[in-house]
Amino acid sequence: MGRSLGALPPEGEVHGGFRRLLAARTGERLALLSSGQRPQRPHPYDSHPPMAERIALIEKLPTDGRPDEATDEPAALTLLHDLDQVFVALEACTPTQEAARVRRMSWDDLVLARAVADADDWSRPLRVAVARAIRSSAQDPGKTATTVDRTATTEAVADNELPALEEILHAFDRGLLWMAVADRMPKPHQAARLSGTSARNFIRPTVFDALAGMVHLRLVDSGHAKPDIAWSGQPGLALPEPWEKGMDDAIDAAVADTPDTAPLRALLAGSPCVPA
């Protein structure tokens, strides 16, 4: 989590975090798998079989005579005395040279810093594309761009020229998303030949993630998004309830074939200290 940030969790937590993960992994997820509600098979090039398949194979093994009921036997870690110091000593024996020089952050600070870095990475391509589209439309206001030449997707954009969330929504309202903005989004060479519905469907998830990233950054700046270590799931941000419930639908509307930014603007307007 902290590699790209040049950071590590507190001393002793590089390995010590494992016990927190174990403590959060209740039997509920295993019971879900055992009940047959198993996740879909992952990518065919994954190096290991899915966990659900491994559990299913174990379930097919012949009984060894022991009862099936779960026991409350303690974890092996409980055999160790002064567990915190054990993890500190273990960590001192195993870090790389780079690890010895990086900064230490609390788990919450580490999760928040990583979430902010990810959100910035997601949102930057869209902000650059919108800046280029706005610049192009200002230079030739009478032209409706349906395709963009290569130089228009590589021209430099300074950080102080990158638009804020409201400017991006305004560009969508002006009809710049499809395709003036979308054509300026980075994409593989093979996808550059796509047009119409195929082109929109290819780039839409990237635009969705970029808008979500900008929302995350806005909510973090206003103090309304908190770090969520989520030991039993995926670390990230805990958002206010209205955003948890309504953000996906609002962003879906904003990136539709006919963009509708009203739901997203309504969420922004309803968040205290978050400008609409």
Quick: pLDDT tens for 19-50. 888 777 766 665 665 665 555 556 666 677 77
Reported confidence tier of residue 154, pLDDT bands at 50, 70, 90:
low
Residue 59: other Cβ atoms inside 10 A: 9
Output the six-digit token pair for 2: 């902290």
pLDDT beyond 80 at 266: yes
Asked if the model's pLDDT at residue 169 lies above 70, the reply is: yes
**Which runs of consecutive H residues, i.e. helices, occur in the chain?**
13-24, 27-34, 51-59, 83-93, 107-139, 165-173, 196-221, 241-254, 262-269
Amino acid at position 110, single letter: L
Determine the average pLDDT of the residues in 155-183: 90
Q: How confident is the model at residue 132 (pLDDT cuts 50, 70, 90)?
A: very high
- For the stretch 202-238, pLDDT in tens is 999 999 999 999 999 999 999 999 999 988 778 999 9
pLDDT at residue 55 tops 60: yes
Burial class (CB in 10 A: 0-12, 13-18, 19+), 159: exposed
DSSP label at 256?
S
Return the percent helix, strand and coil in the chain, to nearest 5. Answer: 55, 5, 40
Q: Give the residue with greater pLDDT, 138 vs 175.
A: 175
Q: What is the pLDDT of residues 109-121, one digit of tens each?
A: 999 999 999 999 9
- The mean of the pLDDT values for the chain is 83
- What is the per-residue pLDDT for 44? 65
Is 214 within 8 Å of 123 (Cβ atoms)? Answer: yes
Instruction: Please determine, for residue 174, whether its predicted confidence score (pLDDT) is greater than 80.
Output: yes
The pLDDT confidence band at residue 145, using thresholds 50, 70 and 90, is very low
Q: Residue 276's pLDDT band (boundaries 50, 70, 90)?
A: very low
> Residue for token digits 């594309």?
129
In Å, how far are 38, 43, 44, 51, 54 from 47, measured between CA atoms?
19, 9, 9, 12, 13
CA atoms of 131 and 15, how far apart (whole Å)? 44
Asked if 101 and 156 touch (Cβ cutoff 8 Å), the reply is no
pLDDT at site 273: 47
Cβ neighbours around 99 below 10 Å, total: 13
